[in-house]
Amino acid sequence: MTGQHLDQPSPVPGPPGPTRTSVQDHSRAESERNNGAAGSGEAADGTTFSGRDPATVAASAIADSSPTKCQARTRLYRRGELELEGFPVGDISDYLGDESCVIWLDLRDPDREDLAVLSDEFGLHPVAVEDAVQEHERPKLDRYRSHLFLAAYGVHLDTVTGELSTSELAAFITERALITVRKDDGLDIGAVLDYWDASPDLAKFGVGYLLYGLIDNIVDSHFAAVQTLDDTIEDLEDRLFSDKPQDREVQRRSFELRKSLVLLRRVVLPMREVVNSLMRRDLRIVSDSLQPYYQDVYDHVLRATEWTESLRDLVTTILETNLTIQGNRMNVITKKVTSWAAIVAVPTFVTGFYGMNVPYPGFGQRWGVVFASVFMIVIAAVLYVIFRRRDWL
C-alpha cells in the first residue's frame, strides 16, 4: 500500500456533518437522521431487505466528503476501540501508516472510476477491481499479493410470493483495512454495523473481527431464508391433503419454491469453500482467538447447505406426490362416474325396450307400466348396493 494521499475530496450527497466527530456526537446525529427518515416512507430507489432507507441507513458512518461519486461510509478503530466514523475518505491516507489503526470503507454502488480512485492507495489488483464492478459473480475468495478479494450474496425470501431476492457484495481484505462494495441496496449495511457494535471486545482483533461480522451477517441471512423455506414447504405439505383440492396452487407454489431453492443453492454452496479458506493460518486473517467464531460460522454454512439440499428433494417429492394424488383422484372420479352410468343404463334399457312400437306383455295395460317401473327401481337398487360394497361409489 502506498502512503500517498487520495485526490482532493469532493462532496457527495449525504447527511451534513463536521469533518471529524466523536462516536458520541455521531450517535446523536444518527438518531436524529433516522427519526427524520422514518416518516419519509420508502426511498425512491428502493429499500434494504429490512425495509430501511438505503440512503440513510448507518447514517453515523456516512462520509462527509469523498473523491468518489458514490456514497461512502467510513470507520476507524484504534487499538481495538472505535475512534471515528463518517470521516472524509481523503483522510484514510493519514491513518494507513499507523499500525494501530484499522479502517473500514464502504462504497455504495461504485463504478470503475470510483474504484480506480482507491486502487493505488490500497494496492488493489486490477482483476479484483474488475470483479468488484461486474455483476453476478460466483461467491468466492481470491488471493492476491497485497489483499484478498471476497464475493458473496445476502438473501431475502418473500414469504408471500416465495421469490428469493439476492444482494451482491464484494470486499477487499487488506492487513489493516476492509473495503466493502455493495452493488445494490438490498443488503442492510446497518445490520453489519450492529453486529460489530454488539461485540466491541473483539475489535482488538482488527480486520478479522470486521470480516467476521460481515460474513456472519451474510450467512445468517442464508440460514434465515432456508428456515423460512422449510416453514413454507411444511405449509405446502398440509395443502396436499386438504379437503378442498388445491392442485393448481400447490403446483404453482412448488415450482416457485424450487426455483428459489436452486438460486439459494448457488449462493450457499460456495460459501463452504469461502469460509474454510478464510480460516487458513497462512492468510493470517483469522487469529487463534477468532477461530471458534469462524468455526461457528462454518457450521452454520454446512447446516444451511445440507438443509437446502434436503429441501430440494422435499419439493421434488411434493410435486410427484401432487401428481400422484391428482391421478388417484381422477381414478376415483372415473370409477364413480362409470358406476352411476351403469345404474342409469338399466332404466334406459327398460324404457327403450318398452318404447318399441310393437305389442309386448302388458302392452296397453296398467300392470305393464307398474311392472316396468318396479323392475327399473329394483335393478338400480341392486346395482347401487353391489357398487357400494365394492367401493365403486
> Has residue 346 been placed in a domain?
yes
> Has residue 260 been placed in a domain?
no
pLDDT value of position 305: 92
> Has residue 2 been placed in a domain?
yes
> Has residue 247 been placed in a domain?
no
Q: Which residue has the cell 450527497?
A: 13
Residue 156 CB neighbours (<10 A) = 19
pLDDT averaged per 10 residues, the chain (length 393)? 39 36 40 36 59 90 90 94 93 89 94 85 88 89 93 91 91 94 91 92 93 95 92 84 73 86 92 93 88 94 92 83 76 82 81 68 74 83 82 70
Instruction: Answer for the pair 187, 169: CB distance below 8 angstroms, yes or no.
Output: yes
pLDDT value of position 363: 67
User: Element (H or E) spanning 58, and its range?
Assistant: none
pLDDT value of position 59: 93
Q: What type of residue is 152?
A: A
Q: Where are the beta strands (DSSP E) in the chain?
A: 10-11, 65-66, 71-78, 81-85, 101-108, 140-143, 148-157, 164-173, 177-182
Cell numbers at 110, concatenated: 461504485
- Residues 20 and 11: their CA atoms lie apart, in Å, by 15
What is the number of domains present in the chain? 2
- Residues 19 and 65: their CA atoms lie apart, in Å, by 8
For the entire predicted model, the pTM comes to 0.73
> Has residue 259 been placed in a domain?
no
> Has residue 372 been placed in a domain?
yes
pLDDT value of position 96: 86
Instruction: Answer for the pair 392, 336: CB distance below 8 angstroms, yes or no.
Output: yes
Residue 337 belongs to what domain range?
333-389
Contacts of 236 (CB under 8 A, 6+ apart): 250, 253, 254, 257, 318
> Has residue 356 been placed in a domain?
yes
**Concatenated DSSP letters for 287-324?**
-TTTHHHHHHHHHHHHHHHHHHHHHHHHHHHHHHHHHH
> Has residue 284 been placed in a domain?
no
